[in-house]
Every structure is written in C-alpha cells, then in structure tokens.
Chain A
Amino acid sequence: MADLVCEGIGKSYRGRGVLRDLDLEVPTGTLTAILGSSGSGKTTLLRVIIGFVEADAGSVSVGGETVAEAGRVHVAPDKRAIGYVAQEGALFPHLSVGENVGFGLARGERRQGARIVQTLELVGLDASYAGRPAHELSGGEQRRVALARALAPHPRIVLLDEPFSGLDAALRADTREAVLHALREEQATAVLVTHDQAEALSMGREVAVLRDGRLAQRAAPSALYRTPADADVASFVGEANLAPGEAAAGHVECALGRLGVANPGLEGPVEVLIRPEQIHMTPANGSAAGAVGAARARVIEHVYYGASTVVRLSLERPPGASLKARVSGQELPAPGEAVELAVLGPVVVFPARAASAAHPSFGTEPDPSSDDPRGGT
C-alpha cells in the first residue's frame, strides 16, 4: 500500500465552492476518517481522489505518483489502482459473490480462485459464500463483499464511502469490526467518509473534519475530542456545553467556578468547553453548607441511553442557563432535585465569538415550575 497526499484541492459547481484549498495526507497503512455533515464536500473529495470528478485546483498523488493535477494530469479511474467501496456496496446484481470479489482480478487469478477465497475470509465470510447470488446477502454481508472486491486486486489505497449507512446498530458494530480487521490485515491505506462521529472516532487513526469544503481540523481521535480547534468542531464531534468565561494565567472563571485550562495562552473573555461527562453531580442536601463557590443547579429531565444517562440541568446562576451532564446512571437525582456541580479535569477555551453568535448551550431556558417537572424517560 502507498500513502495519499492531496494538496490545495478546489472544486466548485456552478460557482458554488464545494471544496476549497483542501490539504489531506494519509500515511501508508493507516485509516483516516473524513467526518463531515451532508453538503460538507466529503463525497466530492472522495470522487476527486478516485478520479470520477476533476478538481478545479490542486493535486492528488498516490505513493508519490501524481494521479491528478488540475488542468495538467488526469489519470483515468481505472488506471489509478484505488479501491472503492460505494455506499450500500453496489454489488453487481448479475454476478455471484465470488464473481463479484474476483471482478478486478486478471483472468487467470479469477479462474484459480485462491485470492477470492482469501479476501472473502479476510472480511469474515467463508468460501461457501462464493457461489451465492449477490442479492441474497444481508446488508452487512453486502458491505463485506464490497470491501473484499475492492481489496482483492491489491489496490494502492482504499476509499470507503459511508460503508455502514443503513445498517442496524448491532450489524453495524460487527461489520465495522470485520472491516477494520481486514484493512489491518492488508495493511491498507484507507480513507473512510462518514457523517457519524462515533464511527469516525472509533475507526480512524486520524480524523479529518470537513466543514464547508475546508479542512477544519485533522487530529488523532482523542486529541480531536479533547482539544478541538474551535467551538463548532467541538460540538460536531461530540456533545458540548459552551459557556462564556474570563481566562487568566492558566485558569478560567465561569458559571461553574474557577477551572484549569488544557490549552493555556488565551487571556480575557473566552468561550469555555465542558464535555457533559466532565460534570460531576452531588446532592445539595437542601442546606447552604455546600462547598464554597460550588455551582448549584436543579435537574430538569433525564434522557436514558442505557450505558449512560444525560441529565439536563438548570443553573441557579445565571438564572435560566442550562447545561447537560452525562452520568453512568447508577444513582440519578430525580427531576426537580437540587444538585451541586463539580468539573473533572481541565477544560478547553476558545476566543470569545462575536455577541451575535448564539451559544449552542448554556442558553436561557424557560424555567420549569417546580410542581410540573418534565420527568426523565
């Protein structure tokens, strides 16, 4: 496998910029997840890399060979040796599973069949699948066969376009694991496009966040989640509480008290990111004897997710401000109950945005009357 380098990619349709000056590097043998909402240009980027779309600007090179350079070089898609797994698999309906997998192999190799069996097993399907018609497979099996088909002719890199869309949760997890296993076994350089942050964070060695055709941030999953580049990325890769604050000397003063800062350097008015799982709740005991300066809040409602529960809270000060906490769900304060809040670990701060930019949370909520608590689920 080889590495992939995209430099300065630009593409617009009818004057509307879909990709703007985009750089991307994928080191040999690693998987990079491209994360973006619909319309962010992620699929267009994939199609530029493989050659279905010609970019207006920039270049693409695979293993050091330039396969596309705007206006100069455009290697045909079939000459690029780039594997492609289309959305929902796109298996050839007139061929069997084995014929699908062997499709890109030379005739001799196709007939001999060893590579077909090998790649089928690689994706966790046994050789008996080879004879079955493609349309009899389940959704998850179709995706696996599509990957096997892409891997069989030893492509230089593999591109996966939303490969798990439309699969139910359990099947999705299984298929995801099988795909990761196969890619790792082949030491494949892979690019996976998705709009699902959990998928991007769990699969990518690196995650590239695409926004309005630009690369907003590229980082390892944990770094992306813990130290996002800005408030938008922060709320896109996970749930985020954002609050105004005042930073000075490695600390920030905000509604939840004085907190340590993970990215020191900013001074003055800032925006503070507190992940819901950073918030720790303790019962307020109904007295004023809580920790000095600790923020107090009232529970509005629960949203139960099984492994964890999200608790929506209404702060005492400033009145009406709300935020979310994610807890493991063993001992839940009831709706209406008063709690004291503490923040675990350092927080991330961003330069304060213009006043017009509304904060996604910590917003003012209508104060629920105490005798009508919106109960948890």
Chain B
Amino acid sequence: MWASRPRRALRGAPLGLLAVCVLVAIVVLAPVGVTIEQALQGGTSAALRSIDASSARTLLLHSVLVAAVASPLAGLLGVTAAWFIERSDLPGRRLWTLLAVAPLTMPLFVTSYAWASIGTLTQGFLGAAGIIAFSYYPIVFLLVAGALRGMDPALEETARSLGLNARRTFFRVILPQLRPALLGGVLLVVLDTLVEFDAFVALKYQTFTVHIYAQYELSFSASGAAALSLFSIVLCVALLFGESWLRGGANYTRVSHGVRRPVTRHRLGMARLPVLAGFLAGAGISVGIPVGTLVYWLTQSSRAGLEGASANIRYLGTATLTSAALGIAGALLALAFALPISLLAVRHRGPLATVLERSTYLSFALPDLVAAISLAYVASHYAPRLYESVVLLVLAEAILFVPFAVVALRATLGQIEPALEDSARSLGLGPVRAFARVTAPLARPGMAAAGVLVFAFVLGDLGTAQVLLPPNLYTLGTEFEANASTVAFAAAAPFAAVLVALSMLAAGVLMNRFGRVRTMGGG
C-alpha cells in the first residue's frame, strides 16, 4: 500500500503551483506591460513635450520629498505604536490597536477632503506628507506588531540579564530583528506615495502623478499618461531591488524553538501619562480629523445643504450594496491571486519565487488611473464584451491591491510550521489536500485579514471606478466625490459616514486577524 504511492519531493516547488503563479504574474503584470508598450509606441516625445525639463524636476522633487518625509515618519509612528502596544503595560491596548489600524481602512479621499477643509496648514507639502504618514503608518504597525509577537521573549530577557535596560534592549536586540518587517512596511508607504493622486489634488499639492492625471484629463491621451508612468515603473523596480538589497540575508528565522511564554511587559510608571497623551494625539490626527469633520458636516450644514442630503439618502442603499458587492468580489479575486504567490514565497524560497512575488508588487507602480486605462485598452482590443462590464473593474481592483493581500497572507503563512504540512504529506495527503486540510484552516485569520484589507481598499478607491465603472452604476465613493467636488459637503456626508463605518468594521477584523494563526477553539 505504502510502496504503491510514489513519494514526491516535499520541498522542491511543485510544478502545478509554479504554473499557477506564473499565470497570476502574467495577469497582474498585464497593465504594466500594456503601459510600457503604449509609452514606447511613440507617445514618449509627445509626453515629454508636455512637460518641460524644469517643471519635471520640480514635480519629481515634490514626489520624492513627500515620500522621503512621510515614509520614515510612518515607520517611526508604526514602530512606536507597536512597541508600546505589544511590549508595555499601556492601558486600553485593544482600543489603541483599533485606532492604530483604522486609518488604513479609511478611504483616503474622505480623509483628504477633511484635511483640506481644516485650513491652509493641513494643505500643501505639510498636509501631503502628514496625510500619507498618518494614513499609511498602520501598515508598518501591523507588520511590526506581528514581528514583535513572533519574537522569542527569551532574546529580550537574555539582553536584560546581560545588563541592558529597556531602551538599549530595544535598539540592540529588538530593532535589528524588526528590520525586515519595518523595511517592507516603509516600502509599501513609499510606493503608495509615488502613485497617490486623490489626496494630493484635494490638498493642492503638485506631484508627478497629479501631473499625469492632469495630462490625461487635458488631452485624453493615454500614451502621454503611459509615458509619464514609465518613470514610476522604473522607480518602483529600483525600490523593490533596493529593499531586498537592504534586507540582505536578514530573513531571520528563529534560531531556537524554546517554550513560548508570555512576554514581560515593560512598566511605564510615570511615563504612562505622556505616552497616553501621545497615543491620543496620534489617534486625533489620523482618526479624529476625518470623523470629526464628518460629524461637523452632518450637524452644521445649512438648511439647503441638508435638503440636498436628504434628497441623496435614497441613493445610499444602492450605493452601499454596489460598493459592498464590488469590494467582496475584488477581495475574493485578489485572494485567489495572492494565495499561490504567497505560498510559493513562503514555502519555496528562491530566486524564482522572489521574482514572481516581487512582480506582483509592480502593479503598485501604476497610478490607478493608468492601470484602469491600460486594462480598458486590453479589453477593448481583445475582449470587447468585457469592456464597460463590471468584471473589468473587479479585475482592476484585484490587480491593484493584490500586493496588500500578499503581504497579509505572508505574515500568517510564515508562522505555520512546514513540519505540519510535511506530517500531512507523510499521512498520505497530496499537496493540494494538505493545503486544504492543514494550511488553509490554520491560515484562516490571515486570509480574512487579506480579504478585508482588499475590501477596504476597493471601498476607498476612486480612480479605477471613475474610469471603469459602467455608466449606470454608482458607488459610495463616486457619490461622495460627485457631491464633495461641488462643495455639497452635507450631501456627501451620508456616503462618507457609511464608508467610515464600514472601514471601522474592517479595522476591527484586521486587528484581530492580521498575521495570526488559528489556535485551538479560535476562529
């Protein structure tokens, strides 16, 4: 019986998985490929003509400057919040966790309108850097908090026994091991900054991406936008290589597998009040501003505005349903893309796996508008029935947000002992069944986190929807935008309120699921 079952290699990447991953990579890279092709088709000169050298330099400088200020700030915020929540006796840790995750799931176009409405201080460069740092630091927080939870407490204890105080232990033992998580998180923030559009327009800050949009709206020349996007593609590739170079071999696996015990939390003592004040200030900026502005819009508007709002209420139900359906479909598709890729990256490390995983990140390099245009181009040429159908929009959303799903899945899958899968294989299960019966149930929290993250991003997406949404449909985002751009804030507010409520729900799921493995009795 045993002899008749051919023993397969347990470690080498199975061809089936590899084939699926290559297929996924091709789909995900399609918009990038089309963009490059369009750009090289002679649009280059026209595009370059549209932008003279000096203003190009200014715009470039703007993009780089925001990224250079916002990403280290996001890293600092994320690591600080994660350390205090995971390693100190800060009171109300669950509430702070929720508030540290919530900004990520909040639609950036709502937040940026809120920032813009405050005054001039929160506009321009300061506003642009601030909104990016405070909206994206949760991604660093989630990754770093997960890494902290996975770190053997014995390492910190040993450092303490060797005479290091809490501060020096942090810099000499904890921080070096957080490097992969921290760099990964900061990289995502940088990439997001480079292609961000809605927020910068609202805050009146000119960057390269904003120029691409202007270029497109001015001339409707897809090739011009594509040519300009070449720049962000090149930068993205450079960053992806740079990050793996910085990371080097620093993919720390635990050297020992000693008995896990709960960490000893650092006592804040007298520092408790200032730390609490800091957390309160952070939450005030990241969550308080959009929620407060929303409440203001709802309560302080003029009579006329409120009439407009009540007139819009009847669209609210349909918009919510459409948004939710799009979000769920996008999340499921992104999960389907991300699962094989992250499995390959976690279980069969090697140059090929790295290239395939990293290639999914390239979809980041495209401003969503450009991605949507190139997908529309592909569809109109090769699949006309897809063109202007909602399927194309779902596909675009899944492609755009698959990197986040990969990040969330990796954080969980990396914690599942390969020995468990090996045991399942040794009990006679094939790779697919071993995955379905062992890996997938254990990774359920991570899959939920990945799905919810993509769901929230789809809800908060505007650029893709504006290009690809069939004309008879409307979402919470498009309705908000339609009203907010005509400064009918009261009318826009109900849509924003539903968006914010949904994003809080998503944050609640994320905080309990991200980077976790299912435990006995847990979900």
Bound form: Cα–Cα A86–B252 in Å: 19
Residues in A neighbouring B161, C-beta threshold 8 A: 50, 77-78, 80, 82-84, 104, 150, 155
Max chain A Cβ within 10 angstroms of own Cβ: one of B177, B253, B258: B258
- Which residue of B177, B257, B258, B259 contacts A93 across the interface (Cβ within 8 Å)? B177
Chain A residues lying within 8 Å of B259, measured Cβ to Cβ, are 87
Contact B154 A93 (CB under 8 A): no
| B157 pairs with A103, CB closer than 8 A | no
Interface segment among B162-170, B205-213, B345-353, B411-419: the answer is B162-170
0/1 interface trace, chain A 83-109, chain B, CB 8 Å (1 if under): 110111111111100000001100000
Q: Does A175 contact B (CB under 8 A)?
A: no
- Min CB gap A24→B, angstroms: 19
The answer for the CA separation of A95 and B175 in the assembled complex, in Å, is 13
Which parts of B244-269 form the interface with A (CB within 8 Å)? 250, 252-259, 264
Rounded to whole angstroms, the CA-CA distance of A76 and B164 in the bound complex is 10
Known A93-B253, A135-B253, A135-B255; contact A77-B160, beta-carbon cutoff 8 A: yes
Across the interface, do B164 and A134 meet the contact criterion of CB distance under 8 Å? Answer: no
Residues in A with CB closer than 8 Å to B157 are: 50, 52, 77, 84, 86, 90
0 or 1 for each of A194-213: is its CB under 8 Å from B? (1 = yes):
00000000000000000000
Q: Which residues of the other chain, A, contact B250 by a CB distance below 8 angstroms?
A: 94
Query: Which residues of B sit under 8 angstroms from A86, Cβ to Cβ?
Result: 154, 157-158, 256, 258
In the complex, the chain B residue whose C-beta lies closest to that of A51 is B160
Taking a contact as CB atoms under 8 Å apart, the answer to whether B159 and A89 are in contact is no
Chain B 132-167 per-residue mask, 1 if CB under 8 angstroms from chain A, else 0: 000000000000000000001011011111111100
Choose among B162, B165, B252 the residue that contacts A150 (Cβ–Cβ < 8 A): B162
With A77-B157, A94-B250 as known contacts, state yes or no: A149 contacts B162, CB within 8 Å: yes
B257 nearest CB neighbor, chain A only: A88
Q: Report the interface size for chain B: residues with CB under 8 A from the other chain.
A: 28
A84 to chain B: which residues have CB within 8 Å? Answer: 157-158, 161
Contact check, B255 vs A93: say whether CB atoms are below 8 A apart: yes
C-alpha gap A134/B164 in the complex (Å) = 20
Interface of A: prevailing SS: loop
Pick the contact of A90 from B158, B179, B252, B253 — CB < 8 Å? B158
CA distance A51 to B267 in the complex (A): 13
Q: A residues 145-159 with Cβ under 8 Å of B? A: 146, 149-150, 153, 155
In the assembled complex, the Cα of A266 lies from the Cα of B323 at a distance in Å of 86
Is B173's beta carbon under 8 Å from chain A? yes
Instruction: Chain B residues near A76: list those with CB within 8 A.
Output: 160, 165
Q: Does any Cβ of A come within 8 Å of B384's Cβ?
A: no
Q: How far is the CA of A153 from the CA of B161 in the complex (A)?
A: 10
Q: Which residue of A lies closest to B250 (CB)?
A: A94
Contact A87-B258, Cβ < 8 Å, known A52-B157, A93-B252: yes
**Interface check A81, CB cutoff 8 A:** yes
* CB <8 Å contact, A90 and B258: yes
**CB within 8 Å for A78 and B160 given contacts A52-B264, A92-B155, A94-B250:** yes
A52-B157, A87-B154 given as contacts; is B254 within 8 A of A93 (CB)? Answer: yes
Question: Is B176 on the interface with A (CB-CB < 8 A)?
Answer: yes
Shortest B503–chain A CB gap in Å is 36
Chain A, residue nearest B159 (CB): A103
Name the B residues within 8 Å of A149 (CB-CB).
158, 162
Chain A contacts for B172, CB-based, 8 A: 103
Chain A residue at smallest Cβ distance from B152: A90
Tell me, rounded to whole Å, the shortest Cβ–Cβ distance linking B134 to chain A.
30
A281 to B500, CA, bound (A): 84
Instruction: Flag whether A142 is at the interface (Cβ < 8 A).
Output: yes
CA distance in complex: A247, B73 (Å): 80
How distant is the Cα of A87 from the Cα of B163 in the complex, in angstroms?
19
Q: What's the minimum C-beta distance from A312 to chain B, rounded to whole angstroms?
A: 35
B475 CB to nearest chain A CB (Å): 46
User: A89, B255: Cβ atoms under 8 Å?
Assistant: yes
Cβ contacts A to B, 19 pairs, < 8 Å:
A52-B157, A53-B264, A77-B157, A77-B160, A78-B165, A83-B161, A84-B161, A86-B158, A88-B154, A88-B257, A90-B154, A90-B256, A92-B176, A94-B177, A94-B179, A104-B161, A142-B255, A153-B162, A153-B163
Given contacts A51-B160, A78-B162, A89-B256, list 20 more A-B pairs with CB under 8 A.
A52-B157, A76-B165, A78-B165, A78-B169, A84-B157, A90-B152, A90-B155, A90-B256, A92-B155, A92-B158, A92-B159, A92-B176, A94-B177, A103-B162, A104-B161, A104-B164, A135-B255, A146-B158, A149-B158, A153-B162
6 interchain residue pairs of minimum CB distance: A104-B162, A88-B256, A84-B161, A90-B154, A86-B154, A87-B258
